[in-house]
Amino acid sequence: MPNRLQDKVAIVTGSTLGIGAEVARLFAEEGAYVVFNSHRDDAAAAAMRAQLDPARSLFVQGDVSDPAAMRELAAQTIARFGRIDIVVNNAGMNMFADPLEMTDEQWQRCFAVDLEGAWNATRAALPHMLAQGAGSVVNIASVHGHKIIPGCFPYPVAKHALIGLTRSLGIEYAARGIRVNSVSPGLVMTENVQAWLDACPDPDAERARQAALLPCRRIGEPREVAYTALFLASDEARFINATDILIDGGRSQIYHD
């Protein structure tokens, strides 16, 4: 079904690389006006500008951890396109540290981006969604919000909290036309994952080892996550709310020693 988001206005945070960039591209292909975002105006942002129709897209630089920046993101969206129908909270960061060696700054930055960032962007958009009586928020959580992998603290704490935020806000505003859902990707071949594999002593062997851990025997692709975000953002999912969808090839369902 083409044009699943025809003329809807979507904000996608953290959308110049990885899953966010793929979400932005797919939403544009499906007819949306897309406001894409990064905390940096760099080569990746320039590449996205070149890929998206300038008449139907807008880049707004801003760090999601800054509430004022997210209010500005919403304000520029309204000024350019007149409404906000969809927010995809994709901006995030990895933070893996020993709990007792982690600094206060590491803890605070993890939550400022991975949890508060989603709230900041959503909070800025909510008044506009409520005024029009409709809106869809899709949070990009993680399999780390379901299963704990040793050595990854405090990232899983933030992602568990993000799923809690999803459920709570979904219920809070359900009767006023707002849906809030999340998706939880497992291992997906983003630029960051590719860079991690390239830094391994034997990249091909490590990639094969990671793929072997998955029931489907392959690593996920950003577009596979983007299609799930598209479904949740669209009217096809109008009775889906306060729900998280795992996208991990089934790995989290397997018992491991």
Beta strands across the sheet bearing 9-12: 57-61, 33-38, 9-12, 86-89, 135-140, 178-185, 244-247
Two tokens at 101? 């060696």
Two tokens at 210? 């990671």
Marked catalytic residue, from 155, 173, 227, 255? 155
Burial of 215 (0-12, 13-18, 19+ CB in 10 A): exposed
Residue 146 DSSP label: T
155 is catalytic: yes
Helix, strand, coil share of the chain (percent; to 5): 50, 15, 35
Report the distance separating Cα 94 and Cα 87, nearest Å. 21
Report the distance separating Cα 248 and Cα 143, nearest Å. 7
Residues with a catalytic annotation lie at 155
